[in-house]
Amino acid sequence: MKIFLSNLLFNFNLIIIRIVNIFNFLFVKNELLPKTILINIQYFQRNTLIEAIFGNYLSHNGKKVFGLVCAGYKYCEIHKMNSEIPDCNACRLKTFKLLDAAKIEAIDLEDFKNISEDLSGKKYDLKSLKNLKHSKTEYPLGETAYWNWLHYSNGDILPEDNEKNNNILKNIYETTYGSHNSINAVIEKYKPDFMVTCHGKFAQTRPAFFLREIYNYDCLTWENFAMDSSFVWLKNALAMDQNINNYWQSISETKLSRIDHRKVDKYFEDQKTGVNQKWTFLDKITIEDKNEIYKKINLNKEKPVISIFPPIAWDSTGCSHTLEDLDFFEVINFLVSKCREYMNVQFVVRSHPAELNVPDYLRSSRSIVDTLIKINKEIPSNVFFLQADSEISSHALSTISNEVIFFSSTLGLEVLNSQRKVNCIGVQAYYSQKGFTNDIVTKKQLLDLFENLEKLSWSKDDNHLYEYIDERQLKYVKTLTFYIRFKLHSFIGILKRGILVMTLFRYISYLQYMKNLKDYLLGKRTPFDL
């Protein structure tokens, strides 16, 4: 029954796409711009419908548009360990049908599939694969494979060395290698001016983004963020990361209206209570009292506290957060191992609530805390762990901490809004590099936090030696929040929860949205004007 309903919905969407195509033929102005565009559609999922309707619009603007269809690899980046393996042939057929309905010429990556590297005898474990790069393009094969493993396994950073896991890692690596080679071959043949791809971090989508600098084309990435009809589009940047550094200088001095200020203030208030979130990560009752938190964790009030708030291991937002040669988990483990050298400083690791407080298919296979405990035979006495289901409020924990460390957590933005400066690992966070965060890019800078706190004279009465941001910096925080949350996310009325809905009003709205998106692709608009 599930398959029947899915196919019924798919065929309905195809009908709508064909109707849209007829309307576009009648009403879209043909600009005859000699541009070649490759849409890296790969596989079918409900939100790839937006690639079809965008590609169709572009094709009526005189542009040559091609859609790339998955070659049918042993691993699929939409597959996870606790979900059913996608039917490869059925998915490919749907994707071809989708492109046909949208009048987009299909490029079958099967025709470009070439794994020329001798992969026999290769050791398929995370440690061995992690740093491997393509011999010609320097594409980070191992890193991409590693990210895919975390996504597939729901964050299993320490997989057991067994035949099953080794086979999966082998399939992931070979898919990563084959996907890169096939997309590279297509680019060499078609020489695109633009590419469009979802996500841009995993095996089947990352090559399209990575290769742009080698072949000198612009790459447009998009994300949905599980929000109804809301999309983020970024050119030559990853939409998943929401990094708007290229536009920050031009928008930073924007004067927000009173209405805009109220929107921002309400947003932060809603974040605290879980309002308007798809999944509420907050417990019904959380411990907010500072004294109770000290007691619950067993912290010494007479010693300073550093708290770190890791990302979710399987979530792609945390994948690219690195420090020198360390990935996000290695950063945390590095700190834990160093804590015994700074016994006067207390270190708290607070697992992200979304490790557990999400639907079953998204739950982490092993918590970051459990992984840290497994790796370290002896945990220093000044290190404290809070599991994902801890009733201690993350907000309250940040207020008793003298230093707080984030990767890209929304909580970091909320702490900034309280006029408190935060530490960001690396420069990948969307709120880093703006002048109101302490951006840590070396191990020495990280350890300096401990060093500086140890040197401070300490007393019970004055144990919150925060570094605050000034009013001007706070203004920047609110401006950034407004643009990220209310300008960057745009809504397309024709697509509703994976279903194309056609009315005259929605079609007119679609036309304007597509025109704006095309203009952004051509450099005539910003991502905030869609």
Average pLDDT, the chain: 89
Same domain for 433 and 285: yes
Please check whether residue 185 lies inside any domain of the structure. Answer: no
Element housing 165 (H / E)? helix 163-190
Same domain for 365 and 233: no
CB 311 within 8 A of CB 408: yes
188: helix, strand or coil: helix
When mean pLDDT is compared across 93-107, 193-207, 214-228, 507-521, the lowest value belongs to 214-228
Overall number of domains in the chain:
2
Decide if pLDDT at 227 tops 80: no
Q: What is the pLDDT of residue 460?
A: 47
d(CA 268, CA 390): 22
Give this prediction's pTM.
Answer: 0.92
CB 156 within 8 A of CB 329: no
Same domain for 223 and 304: no
d(CA 335, CA 382): 12
Same domain for 238 and 372: no
CA dihedral 437, 442, 445, 451 (to 10 degrees): 140
Decide if pLDDT at 283 tops 60: no
Please check whether residue 17 lies inside any domain of the structure. Answer: yes
Please check whether residue 145 lies inside any domain of the structure. Answer: no
- Give the residue-averaged pLDDT of 308-333: 86
Region class of 230: left (phi > 0), else alpha (psi between -120 and 50), else beta: beta
Structure tokens at 310: 């890791």
Q: What is the pLDDT of residue 287?
A: 85
Percent of the chain residues topping a pLDDT of 70: 93
Same domain for 402 and 360: yes
Structure tokens at 230: 């809301």
Q: What is the DSSP letter of 203?
A: T
Same domain for 319 and 414: yes
Same domain for 314 and 205: no
d(CA 206, CA 283): 36
Please check whether residue 247 lies inside any domain of the structure. Answer: no
Q: What is the DSSP letter of 343?
A: T
- For residue range 24-55, what is the model confidence (pLDDT) as tens digits? 999 998 777 778 999 999 998 888 899 999 99
d(CA 130, CA 355): 24
Cα dihedral 70, 221, 181, 428 sign:
negative
Taking each helix axis from N to C terminus, what angle separates 328-338 and 443-455, rounded to the nearest 10 degrees? 40
DSSP sequence for 481-525: HHIIIIISSEE-TTEETTEE---HHHHHHHHHHHHHHHHHHTTSS
Same domain for 437 and 410: yes
* Domain end among 462, 480, 498: 480
Q: Across the chain, how many H-helices and E-strands are there?
A: 18, 15
More confident position, 359 or 337:
337
Range of the structural domain that residue 397 is part of: 258-480
Please check whether residue 134 lies inside any domain of the structure. Answer: no
Q: What backbone phi and psi angles, to 5 degrees, belong to 402?
A: -80, -30
CB 429 within 8 A of CB 406: yes
Look up the CATH number of the domain holding residue 295: 3.40.50.2000
Same domain for 216 and 289: no
b or e along 133-150 (b: 16 or more beta carbons within 10 Å of the residue's beta carbon)?
ebeebebbbbbbbbbbbb
d(CA 398, CA 395): 5
- For residue range 447-501, what is the model confidence (pLDDT) as tens digits? 999 998 887 755 544 555 678 899 999 999 999 999 999 999 998 888 887 789 8
- Give the residue-averaged pLDDT of 270-280: 63
CB 438 within 8 A of CB 424: yes
- For residue range 125-164, what is the model confidence (pLDDT) as tens digits? 788 888 889 989 999 999 999 999 999 999 999 888 888 8
- Give the residue-averaged pLDDT of 97-113: 95
CB 66 within 8 A of CB 191: no
d(CA 125, CA 226): 32
Please check whether residue 474 lies inside any domain of the structure. Answer: yes
Same domain for 319 and 295: yes
CA atoms within 13 A on the CB side of 137: 19
196: helix, strand or coil: strand
d(CA 50, CA 493): 11
Q: What is the pLDDT of residue 276?
A: 55
CA distances from 480 to 254, 410, 450, 474 (A): 10, 12, 30, 10
Please check whether residue 331 lies inside any domain of the structure. Answer: yes
Same domain for 422 and 296: yes
Please check whether residue 202 lies inside any domain of the structure. Answer: yes
Same domain for 292 and 195: no
Residues 6+ apart with CB under 8 A from 84: none
